[in-house]
Structure 1
Amino acid sequence: MSHLSRLYQTDYSEWARRNAELLRAGDFASLDIAHLLEELDDMGKSEQRELENRLTILLAHLLKWEYQYRHLSERWREFKGDSWRATIVEQRDRLAKRLRKTPGLKAVLAATIEEAYADAIDLASKESRLPRETFPTTCPYDEAQILDDDYYPDPRES
């Protein structure tokens, strides 16, 4: 085991600093390639997990916006959905920033929406106490609607 490999196990920050120095110096033969590859793989997975988590929350709140409102009792009809709106705004903002900072995520956006949607149904069902069957089996929103700051589904149309 090389010194850098041992350093990876004991002092991650120093390991990263040393590898950065070696890269800047062009000393590729001295790099801890195995751990660098592992870290790069993990970074990509982490970015995709964050994208999926944010989409899950956003989609769940869009579903609640569209489907739960109709089931609120008469005394709640004045409900404006401010907390749902705040969450939708926040998640859209964070998604937009993530997609700007990591443009490669746009290539997996459609597939990630599909993956996140099943979890969004679960979350919306648990939070609203509406049966899962209340919600469409496939995502009713396209990418543009999901990311559009001005789009809110009409609860009367569903």
Structure 2
Amino acid sequence: MTAPLARPVPHTAYSDDLYTWAMEQAALLRAGDLSALDRENLAEEIESVGRSEFNSLVGAWRVLLLHMLKWDHQPDRRSRSWALSIRAQRDAAADVLTDNPGLKGRLDEALERAYRGARILAAQETGLPLARFPERCPYGRDEMATRPFPVDPDEIGGTP
């Protein structure tokens, strides 16, 4: 008679080694040993994944809004780099939303957080007073996604 295979027994504390703890938790899940799971920390980590996706959207919109603000408040300094950054951040935000349709209920919150940071960064990077930038986001989500920003330096009057 053969002895039954032993299931992995988690022995790594969450606070000691996150990587090893995560691998052990994954092995327990795959083995169906739900009673051995560190449920509280596992739930926290799963929630953290969701927060990370939300923060990815906020981050993409923050950079997008920063360059839109700079574009509008420093027309003589417009550059191909700003226009391309706007395009790249639009794509990044669209990808996050495509991959995470559940975020659609939090778009207003994401926009508010993104703009709050973009406004401060715009003042910092342009040297203009913070009061020069509206307290509330002057752009709607549709404008953020579709407003044209020329890339050709001859079209924008700036440098490449």
Give the TM-score of the pair, scaled to structure 2: 0.76
Q: Which residue of 2 aligns with 1:97?
A: 95
Q: Could you say if the C-alpha distance between residues 101 and 151 of structure 1 is closer, same or farther in structure 2, counting changes exceeding 3 Å?
A: same
Give the structure 2 partner of residue 131 of structure 1: 129
Q: CA deviation at 1:139?
A: 0.8
- Structure number with greater CO (CA < 8 Å, separation at least 6) is 1
Unaligned runs of 5+ in 1: 73-78
Structure 2: which amino acid aligns with 1:106? K
User: How is 1:1-158 mapped onto 2 (pairs within 5 angstroms)?
Assistant: 4=10, 6-69=12-75, 72=76, 80-148=78-146, 150-152=147-149
Contact 1:68-1:130 within 8 A present in 2 as well: no
The structural deviation recorded for 1:85 is 0.5
Is this contact kept in 2: 1:5–1:32, CA < 8 A?
Answer: no
Question: Greater shift after overlay, 12-21 or 108-117?
Answer: 12-21
Number of equivalenced pairs: 143
Encode CA deviations 1:22-70: one digit per residue, 9 max, x unaligned. Answer: 223332112111210121122222222222222111111111111211x
Specify the alignment match of 2:5 in structure 1. Answer: none
Q: In structure 1, what is the equivalent of residue 153 of structure 2? A: none
User: In proportion to residue count, which structure has more helix?
Assistant: 1
User: Does the residue aligned with 2:29 lie in a helix, a strand or coil?
Assistant: helix
CA–CA distance in structure 2, aligned partners of residues 34 and 5 of structure 1: 16
1:138–1:80 Cα change, 3 Å? closer
